[in-house]
Amino acid sequence: MKFFADTAEIADIKELAATGLLDGVTTNPSLIMKSGRDFHEVVKEICAVVDGPVSAEVVALDHPTMMKEAEKLRKIADNVCIKVPLTPDGLKTCKALTGDGSMVNVTLCFSANQALLAAKAGATFVSPFVGRHDDNGWDGMELIEAIRLIYDNYDYQTQILVASVRHGIHVLKAAEIGADVMTAPPSVIWGLFKHVLTDKGIESFLADWAKTGQSI
């Protein structure tokens, strides 16, 4: 499963990229707002740090304007992935862009039927929001299971990009189900390293090593 960072903070992206574990980045208008920086500059800088897809979202709601915005975003870097909402105009834009060779991430997916539509429109990625799904009384991981089944039934090539990831259990379940990608805040990704027994093991080994009086 690929790991994307869901952030627009350059320092966090660089730190994660240095581990060799980062496969891409997702951004959205809210993350850009939090960064307090110019949208185009942020996306350009992220694309220079990360070799994989960097999702940059259009903000228009109509197809013609989405296409105009997408054209500007595509010029930023070759690894820009245009992010569009799961609406009729969004999927119309998706079809046009993927037909022209661009990567497209269809976002704000909350049902398997919506994911089916995104796949039929040729989406590179579909982003079901598991955390927000959980918040509204549904099981977000059941949604991922349903999408995985449908895509496998028809051999759709659209990649399932699990979004709105809140904790390590979301990551674990996504991997068990067979999601293609998960995107999470850097804090969630760093949290995957943590285990009390790992910490205790390191502490024990270092204590025993100190008793030997040796150095490497």
List, by residue number, the catalytic residues: 83
127: three-class secondary structure by DSSP: strand
Q: Please name which of 43, 104, 110 lies closest in space to residue 77, comparing C-alpha atoms.
A: 43
Assigned token pair, 6: 């869901």
Centroid of chain to Cα 137: 23
What residue type is assigned to position 64 of the chain?
A: P
5 DSSP β-pair partners: 25, 184
Rg of the chain over all Cα atoms, to the nearest angstrom: 19
CA pair distance 36, 57, nearest whole angstrom: 16
